[in-house]
Amino acid sequence: MKKALIFGISGQDGSYLARFLLGKGYEVIGTSRDAQIAGFENLERLGIREKLLLESVSLVDFRSVLQVVDRYKPDEIYNLAGQGSVGLSFEHPVETFQSLGIGTLNLLEVIRFLGAPIRFYHAGSSECFGDTGGTAADESTPFHPRSPYGVAKAAGFWQTVNYREAYGIFACSGILFNHESPFRPERFVTRKVVNAACRIARGSREKLLLGNIAVERDWGWAPEYVEAMWLMLRREIPGDYVIATGESHTLEDFVDAVFSCLDLDWREHVEIGRELFRPADILRMKADPGKAWRELGWEARSRMRDVARRMVRAEWDPDNGSL
C-alpha cells in the first residue's frame, strides 16, 4: 500500500485528492494547522474523514514539517496548503508569502534532509503568468505575477525547479488554472455568484455586487484536476505541467451561465462595484494544456457551463450527488 501525505487536506483540492487516492488504494495522511479543532467539513461531506489519518502541522515551522514526514515516511507528498485567495493576498501579503513560499521551501528541504525517495507535488498557479495579453500560456511562458499570491506561488515554483535540478529530488509543479467546485469558500467569486443566484431564485430581493466582469478566466472542474496531480508523480522523469481546459470565458459569461440555470436574467440582479476592482488585476487568462495531454494523457472533461451547472445543482440540492 502506497502512502501519501497531503498538506492542506481540508481545502477544496486536498479533499478531492484524498478521495481520489483512497480510491487508488493509498493510505492517506492529511495535515491541518490544528487537526484537533478543525472542522474538516469537506472530508465529512465526501464521507471519508474516518478513513484518513489527520495531523497538526505548521508549514512555516521546519521542525513541525520534519517530524510528520519522518514519522509517516510517505511515498508521495502533495503540497496544497497555504493562503489560497488572490484578493486576500493584497490585504495580507506577508502571511501569503510565508505560508506559500516558506512552506514550500520547508517541505523541499525536509525531503533533502531525510534523503528519502519521496515524490513531491507542488500546487502552482496560473496567477504566476500574470496577463499574457491573450496569448495561451504554456510551460515555457515567462512569469509576470500581478498579485502577492502570484508572487508567492512563483517563488514556490522556482524552489521546486531548483530542488529538482540541484538535488535530484522528484519534484513537480502543476500550474493550475481556475478550477471550481461546491467546496470553494464563499469569498471566491464563483461560489459568491452561485450562492446569490440560488437565494434570488428562492425569492431574495438582494442585488449581487461584483467587480470587473470583463475579466477572462479558464474554469474547470476541481475533481478532475486532482487526477492530473497524481499522474505527474507517475512519470519516469519529473516535470511541470499547465492544467486547464484550454477555453477562456469572461466572468460575465459565467454569471450568465449560473443565472440561466435558474431561469433568471442576471442583468436584473447584478450591480458593478468599483470598490471590488483589484489593485492590479489580470484581464485575460488563456492556457495551452497540450503538454498534459501529450505526456500525461490528461484532458479536462468539463467546461465552464458544466461547472456552473454542477455548482448550482449542489447549492440548490446538497444531497443530489454533485460532489
- Decide if 125 is catalytic: yes
The catalytic position among 26, 121, 149, 241 is 149
Provide the b/e sequence for 30-57 (b: ≥16 CB within 10 Å).
bbbbebeebebebbeebebbeebebbeb
- Decide if 55 is catalytic: no
Are 241 and 35 in contact by the 8 Å Cβ rule? The answer is no
- CB within 8 A of 252, min separation 6: which ones? 213, 214
For residue 267, CA distances in Å to 191, 264, 275, 321 come to 18, 9, 19, 30
The catalytic position among 32, 125, 147, 302 is 125
Q: Which residue has the cell 459565467?
A: 254
What are the grid coordinates assigned to 314, written together? 449542489
What are the grid coordinates assigned to 113, written together? 534532509
Q: How many whole angstroms separate alpha carbon 189 and alpha carbon 143?
A: 24
H helix runs in the chain, sequence order: 12-23, 41-46, 62-72, 86-91, 93-97, 103-114, 148-167, 189-201, 222-232, 251-261, 290-291, 304-316
Q: How many whole angstroms separate alpha carbon 262 and alpha carbon 83?
A: 32
Q: How many whole angstroms separate alpha carbon 177 and alpha carbon 205?
A: 33
The catalytic position among 10, 89, 126, 127 is 127
Catalytic positions, written as ranges? 125, 127, 149
